[in-house]
Amino acid sequence: MSGYLPVAKLAAQFVAGLGVSKIVSGIVQNNVTIVTTAEKVMVNAGSIVLGSMLVEQSSNHIERVTNEVVTWYEGRKKNDVIETEK
């Protein structure tokens, strides 16, 4: 399982990143009125910063939860081995 773990984490982070970017874009498109070129630049820059912050936090969350699941699974495997040896 541990050989596939980095790939699974990366895939989950990639998908979450796409989702976060889509959500931020939708919020901006539906709630921000852009009149000037300067506003367009500011809104796009802000969207990129906000999106990257959210992607970083979602990646940290995915990493933490994945590690918790792996720790739980390895502990359960260890307990199963001990139970079968009795």
As a whole number of angstroms, the distance between CA 74 and CA 76 comes to 5
Two tokens, residue 29: 């498109």
- The continuous run of DSSP H or E covering 4 comes out as none
**Taking the model in full, what pTM does it have?**
0.72
Q: Write out pLDDT tens, residues 33-79.
A: 999 999 999 999 999 999 999 999 999 999 999 999 989 988 888 77
Domain count, the chain: 1
Q: Measure the CA dihedral 72/73/75/78, to 10°.
A: 170
Q: What is the pLDDT of residue 2?
A: 62
Domain that holds residue 51: 5-85
